[in-house]
Structure 1
């Protein structure tokens, strides 16, 4: 039993993988809490697609995929924030236009590179076991910066997330806060793509936050629970991947989903069993 936990750490590539999934889980848990509170799940999906052209260009030019994805995501996020100011267009409409265009551009760029099929598969489904030392450092630095910014702007983000009109009335810069949130979602997704892939990265951003939402009503507690669940899902999925020789990204997401289902059923106040018990108690009290 002890070997199950210790053996993977004897391999350098597994050590790097553990560090990246741990950092990704923590960062996505924290950022994902704000995403869930603001109902921005679709934005997370859009950003996951919008980073594709940057990663594709970086792959063709043989530069950092992480930096390429961040640049592309930030450009798309800025475009969405600007074009959404036109009140004739809803935000989700603008997002749909830009993320589809970005993903199409990425496919065109990637098709110019020889052997792009394997690289495209790696991007879509993750390649956490092939992460290098430079990527670990990049993820660590980007993750630390994200957590610092989140802490500095926590009150502002919460105010905008709960009531945009109140935030606007007290003079908060809604546009710049939205842009900052888009940028932070972009960076958190880019640093997590190598762990779970473009298709599954939204789950790492949303599912731990959804679990935390079921477990507590306090935002501060949510922001502690969500990263713990994200980190646990990443580490557990990676262990299972090593033990059974299965896809790491898929197992990380399935682990997070299993935790979500457990929370949905057993959460103390908002779980299925708790709600049924409360209703049964209410019926008994109403009919003594």
Structure 2
């Protein structure tokens, strides 16, 4: 048992657990809608689209999270605007916003030769460097995100499974869609401080996708994904402590490995069950 608790006797590792746990709960709830609606590409694009805001904030000596939030909001509104004013699919709009924002960020970063270290932290995160203030911010974001998912559960469900019915019921699917994109931005902005923009995708997609293999029902999926996400953060920090690996990358890696393991076991059980059923049929 000491092997599982010793790392968290160190204050910065314990803060990392608190911040990572809050980020996992936030990403589990919002990530469930991302997976169900097929918005995974948007989540990935959002993680890169924050770069211009972060770059400007760093160059001006401002708050990186605030810069990321502004950039994420601009990208969310841009995706909606392109989809509504053109005949192009949403994926095309997301791709255009993605490459534009990412290129702009790289251009801005290229003007500062001293931005390399900050950019590395932005891309890969620094979960062991989170402060008490970071923990509070992520916790507040988690409360807001989970609360928003609860309040908007009905319009989000209608939008996900039957957009025409959402129109009929007066649930304003356009507003619901924008709200969902804003929540994805919230999860991405709040979590990038923990695992970085390149790895936040793992927390947003991994646990919900794994949960969908195990349970049915949106509420159950969210709860299961939250449990998986928190466990992923905990085990990732323990493994990184003893293996001396990058904490954020280890956390995200466990999410991918966990999904593949559950998928493999479920596939094997289905094949065994199918074979047994066939044998009983012929007997």
In which range does the TM-score fall when normalised by the shorter chain?
over 0.9
- Match for residue 89 of structure 1? 88
* CA deviation after TM superposition for structure 1 residue 143, in Å: 1.5
**Alignment partners' CA distance in 2, 1:277 and 1:244:** 36
**Alignment partners' CA distance in 2, 1:60 and 1:7:** 39
Give CA-to-partner distance per residue, 1:178-225, whole Å, 9 cap, x none. Answer: 111111001101111122221121111001011110001222210110
Unaligned segments of structure 2, at least 5 residues: none
Unaligned segments of structure 1, at least 5 residues: none
**Alignment partners' CA distance in 2, 1:144 and 1:218:** 21
- Match for residue 235 of structure 2? 236
Which runs of at least 4 in structure 1 moved beyond 6 Å after TM superposition? Answer: none
CA RMSD of aligned residues (A): 1.5
Give CA-to-partner distance per residue, 1:150-191, whole Å, 9 cap, x none. Answer: 111112111111121221222221111111111100110111
* CA deviation after TM superposition for structure 1 residue 149, in Å: 0.7
- 8 Å CA contact retained: 1:213, 1:222: yes
- Match for residue 190 of structure 1? 189
**Alignment partners' CA distance in 2, 1:7 and 1:284:** 51
- Match for residue 223 of structure 2? 224
- Match for residue 121 of structure 1? 120
**Alignment partners' CA distance in 1, 2:131 and 2:110:** 24
* CA deviation after TM superposition for structure 1 residue 285, in Å: 4.0
**Alignment partners' CA distance in 2, 1:109 and 1:19:** 33
How many correspondences in the alignment?
Answer: 283
- Match for residue 279 of structure 1? 274
TM, length-normalised to structure 2: 0.95
**Alignment partners' CA distance in 1, 2:145 and 2:63:** 19
